[in-house]
C-alpha cells in the first residue's frame, strides 16, 4: 500500500530549517517514494497537524530480556515501547537466559522481532561464551547469523589478555566490540557513586572501576585497529580518555545515556532502588563532563540502556534490587525539552545523535529521510507537553527516575518500512496497547 503523509514539517538536518511537505511511502518496498508538495493521490492518507518529521530514531543499547526473563520484558513489548519512543531500529544486548552466544540465539531474536513487527532489531552477541569471560565465541558465525556487534554487557571482560584477543578477532570479523567498562575488583558490590554512597552508608561503585577499563581497552583497540564502542560513559575521566583516544586516531565511538546527561547522584536522597543503575549516577562534575563531551562530539550518540525489571524486583532492599532503569519511551522528549528547549543544542544535532550517527557507526541503513531511502520515520509534537507517567508505558518496566517530569516532543506517528507502528490522534493512541 502507498501512503501519503500530509501536514508535517520536515526537519533539514543540515541547517535545521523546517519545511511543510508531504511524504509518499510504499510499505511493499519499505521505501520513501517522494518528498515534496503536490504529490499524487494514493491508497491512503495520514494527516498530521504540524508535527515535525524526523528520520526514525536508532538505539544501539536496549535490553529486551527475551529469552529467559519474559516477566521483565519480551521482544514484543520492548519493541512496541521502542515504536512509542520513535525508534525504528534498536540493537539488543545479549545478557538473556541463555545469553545470546550462538548463531541459533541470534536467529531466535531476529525471528521473534520479525513476528512482533514493531521495529528492526539488530542482535548484539556475546564476546565470551555464557558471558563468563573465559572463552571467545565464534565471531564469524555470529556475524553470519545477523549479529551487528559483540558485547558482554552487564559485565566487563576482566582478563586483559582475553580482551586483546577479542579485539584482534573482532577486527578480523569486521564487528564493533561494545564494552561494558567495569573492573569488578574495584566496583565489588558497590551500588552508588561516592557522594551518595557516603551519604547513605552503602557500598561505593567508584568512577575508577569504569575509567581504568576504558583506558585499557582504548590502548588495546589502538594496537589491534578494532572498532571499540564504549557503552554508557558516565565519568569525567572516561570522557577525557575518549577525547584523547580520538585525537590519536583510535577507532572508537561512545554513547551516553539520558540519565547520565540529566541526573547526578545529588538526586538520591534515600536508598531507593529506582536510582540503582550500572554505571551509577555520578557526581555533578561527572554529569557536566558527559554533557560537555556530548555537545562537542566526543560522545557520539545517545543510547538508553533501557533495562526493565519487575516492580517486585525494584521494591527489594537496595543491595538486593537489580541494576537498571527504563528509558526508551521518554528519551527523545526529555532530551528535546532539557537540552534543545534550554538552548544547549539544536534539534537537528540531537536528531543526528539519535539517528544519523548511530546508523553510521554501526553500518545501518537509515539515519536520514530521503526519496529512495528506508520509510522509517517519526513525527513528534514539539508543542504539546505531558507529564511522564510510567503507568502509561508500553514496556513492562516502570522503573524510571523521571516519573512526574514534564516534557514535550512525544512521537505521534512512528513508521517502520512504510507501515504505521505507533499513532496518536488527538492525544489518544490508535491501535493496540
Question: What is the rounded end-to-end Cα distance, in angstroms, of the chain?
Answer: 24
The strand order across the sheet containing 252-256 reads 57-62, 87-92, 120-125, 149-150, 177-179, 228-230, 252-256, 301-302
Given the residues 27, 152, 286, 305, the one annotated as active site: 305
Closest CA to 380 of 108, 129, 18: 18
**Cα–chain center distance at 258:** 9
Pairing of strands 428-429, 87-92: unpaired
SS3 state at 415: strand
- The C-alpha cell of 110 is what? 531476529
10 Å CB burial of residue 270 (0-12, 13-18, 19+) is: exposed
Q: Is 305 a catalytic residue?
A: yes
Q: Are 192 and 265 in contact (CB under 8 A)?
A: yes
Residue 115 CB partners (closer than 8 Å, separation 6+):
76
Rounded CA separation 265/287 (Å): 9
Instruction: Please name the residue that has the C-alpha cell 537537528.
Output: 348
Residue 197 CB partners (closer than 8 Å, separation 6+):
190, 191, 203, 204, 205
- The C-alpha cell of 49 is what? 497537524
DSSP string, 189-248: T--B-HHHHHHHT--B--HHHHHHHHHHHHHHHHHHT--EEE-S---HHHHHHHHHHHHH
Q: Are 322 and 306 in contact (CB under 8 A)?
A: no
Catalytic residues: 305
Amino acid at each position: 500500500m502507498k501512503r501519503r503523509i500530509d501536514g508535517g514539517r520536515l526537519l533539514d538536518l543540515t541547517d535545521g530549517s523546517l519545511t511543510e511537505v508531504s511524504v509518499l511511502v510504499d510499505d511493499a518496498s519499505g521505501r520513501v517514494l517522494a518528498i515534496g508538495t503536490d504529490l499524487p493521490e494514493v491508497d491512503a492518507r495520514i494527516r498530521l497537524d504540524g508535527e515535525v518529521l524526523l528520520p526514525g530514531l536508532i538505539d544501539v543499547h536496549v535490553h529486551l530480556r527475551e529469552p529467559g526473563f519474559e516477566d521483565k520484558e519480551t521482544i514484543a513489548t520492548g519493541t512496541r515501547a521502542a515504536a512509542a519512543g520513535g525508534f525504528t531500529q534498536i540493537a539488543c544486548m545479549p545478557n538473556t537466559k541463555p545469553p545470546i552466544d550462538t548463531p541459533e540465539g541470534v536467529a531466535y531474536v531476529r525471528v521473534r522481532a520479525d513476528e512482533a513487527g514493531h521495529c528492526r532489531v539488530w542482535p548484539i552477541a556475546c564476546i565470551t561464551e555464557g558471558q563468563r569471560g573465559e572463552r571467545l565465541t565464534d565471531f564469524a558465525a555470529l556475524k553470519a547469523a545477523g549479529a551487528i556487534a559483540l558485547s558482554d554487557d552487564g559485565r566487563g571482560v576482566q582478563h586483559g589478555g582475553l580482551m586483546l584477543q577479542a579485539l584482534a578477532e573482532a577486527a578480523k570479523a569486521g564487528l564493533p566490540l561494545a564494552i561494558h567498562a567495569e573492573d569488578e575488583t574495584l566496583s565489588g558490590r558497590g551500588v552508588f557513586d561516592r557522594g551518595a554512597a557516603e551519604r547513605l552508608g552503602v557500598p561505593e561503585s567508584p568512577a575508577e572501576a569504569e575509567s581504568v577499563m576504558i583506558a585499557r581497552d582504548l590502548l588495546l583497540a589502538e594496537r589491534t585497529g578494532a572498532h571499540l564502542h564504549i557503552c554508557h560513559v558516565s565519568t569525567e575521566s572516561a570522557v577525557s580518555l575518549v577525547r584523547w583516544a580520538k585525537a590519536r586516531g583510535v577507532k572508537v565511538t561512545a554513547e551516553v545515556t539520558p540519565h547520565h546527561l540529566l541526573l547526578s547522584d545529588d538526586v538520591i536522597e534515600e536508598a531507593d532502588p529506582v536510582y540503582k543503575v550500572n554505571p551509577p549516577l555520578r557526581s555533578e562534575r561527572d554529569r557536566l563532563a558527559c554533557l560537555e563531551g556530548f555537545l562537542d562530539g566526543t560522545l557520539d550518540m545517545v543510547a538508553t540502556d533501557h533495562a526493565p525489571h519487575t516492580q517486585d524486583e525494584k521494591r527489594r532492599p537496595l543491595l538486593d534490587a537489580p541494576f537498571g532503569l527504563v528509558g526508551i519511551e521518554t528519551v527523545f522528549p526529555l532530551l528535546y525539552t532539557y537540552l534543545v528547549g534550554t538552548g544547549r543544542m539544536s534539534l537537528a544535532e540531537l536528531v543526528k545523535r539519535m539517528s544519523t550517527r548511530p546508523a553510521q557507526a554501526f553500518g545501518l541503513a537509515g539515519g536520514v529521510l530521503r526519496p529512495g531511502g528506508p520509510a522509517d520515520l517519526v513525527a513528534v509534537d514539539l508543542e504539546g507537553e505531558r507529564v511522564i507517567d510510567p503507568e502509561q508505558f508500553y514496556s513492562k518496566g516502570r522503573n524510571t527516575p523521571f516519573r512526574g517530569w514534564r516534557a514535550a516532543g512525544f512521537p505521534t506517528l512512528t513508521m517502520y518500512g512504510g507501515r504505521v507502528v505507533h499513532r496518536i490522534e488527538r492525544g489518544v493512541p490508535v491501535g493496540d496497547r
